[in-house]
Structure 1
């Protein structure tokens, strides 16, 4: 049997492919099983200087993602000795990855695309794993998908179950058990689950703690720190747009069309009365420095270089927003957040190119293994890495 700790992108993918190959798989998840429409209740964010976003539920943060499917860090991983090209292609085909059709591009997003292109910015359609025939265009992808139009890890988990995998929710793994220096199981309170192959996929804020308990090396934290910026544009209705329908790369990261609820109160504080339908916004997401740490406390700071990247990206976003019709006097920015905690068990330090640690039989398949901050949504890359690792485990 293989024990998989965590059921987000990396855990679900590893479980699915191993079960498909005939392995007995036990998936252990600390959170509950929730429907798509209720997934927003699973947020368990951490105030760590930068507010770090995560969820505790079956399916992990795939339950509240924007459905974005970029090939992040493909070249960087190739430099590490991992060629994911075939895995990317297979997953893109299975998930029917494609840009949104024109009728799902909302007016706010369309205006931002037009304004950016007129200003000479390179605008690209965002590849998505969203079924356009099911999309309800409620603009609430980050709080769960009530129509199941967006792919989530639940689909891989159900496929794993169909191949015999067992899922156990509401179970927190406290420690990995070793026997003669090799993986032998996990402990949850007084319960012990035994097997000689353990996959840690509990997320970049929990996986390193389990490694530290074994005195294994861990690495500093990235988080793809971002800021939401927006302003007043009456009746634009961007709150109903499918989020992030396009992306604009810049030197320090990426700009994305993005509506955030937090902007409404900030506009009010500035003296602008705005309903949710009156706000147009963008996200500035950077490839941040690895100045975070996970231990008894979690910390994520902002370096001078990070601040410069955020300032540069925010200036670009403000220009695009103004050219799209936002009142320049109304522009506000939300507190810093980090939507992609990663890098705390990096390839080449904590794991090898097969994602195995120095402990035989102990693997990591979540965002912890990423060698650099992606500066963009990493779900597709995590899926590809987990598929790569599962293939190596089987062979």
Structure 2
């Protein structure tokens, strides 16, 4: 049990404290956690790598799996295990000893060495020029294959082009609106399957969709309204009864947003990881229900804090927020706007995750600040009396 407490302290406090720097790193059990506006991996990683930031660059070998998330993601060093990458621009030019799972607007797999496992890619523009030992699944508007695939290849999209070195040894299945010609050098005709992607008849389906939506929307409307009301009441109580905490949150959330986001991402991961960690011990199994309750409450408070702080940042650009009445107004507006944005398809969950991590980051920064202040030794009264000012 003592070891479990140490583990939780590392995840919940040490990691957020280190993430206050421009780039934070934590090595735990051979795994490396890196976050920052520019996350650069320039030293070998003994086991798994977890990296997040605006620019994520892997320039040193990784002995385990690599989990990469950022706006620009580039992997040029060898990864012994699997690669999981997500970003706007994803470039994988290093050797991969396992599978590749990647998504982004532009995704390129261009290592000269073969990818040992399967490849799964989703993006607007996808380019694959690395030999693939396994099978490949591509979902893209436009994809280009310039290497050999020893397994099967399945493509969902509009355009599939083949470079000089393209070859599929297994079955090539194409799902597209129009049939795509496949050269014999890529795959023999008997190994090529084409399935037309047919756009649905929106006119005929509109009535069915509207009827179903009308019947099923009221429970969702009431559930959403109650959720917003719970957030609003909790926020009003905090603003009214905890003014110092509210002011500390506003001050913390108004500076270093990228650092707060990095801290929040790792704190969120640590909170979620509390449940499986407790499951590792016999006593911890009985504490799992309480841990689940803690996770739900922590996520709710973090989401509320992130929503309010982002709302304050926006409103402060137009006017001051210097009274409780204004703070309550900002809170109500922020909850409604963020709730509607969270309903957007595709990006709604991502916006909600950003707000959640931002709230976790602000709360973690306040906790670490207060812990640091409490650790400072008190100055004895006698010593204060003997100072020149006192004399």
Larger RCO (CA under 8 A, 6+ residues apart): 1
TM-score bucket of the superposed structures, by smaller chain = under 0.3
TM-score (norm 1): 0.24
For the pair shown, the structure with the greater C-alpha radius of gyration is: 2
Structure with greater strand percent: 2
Query: Per residue, is there more helix in 1 or in 2?
Result: 2
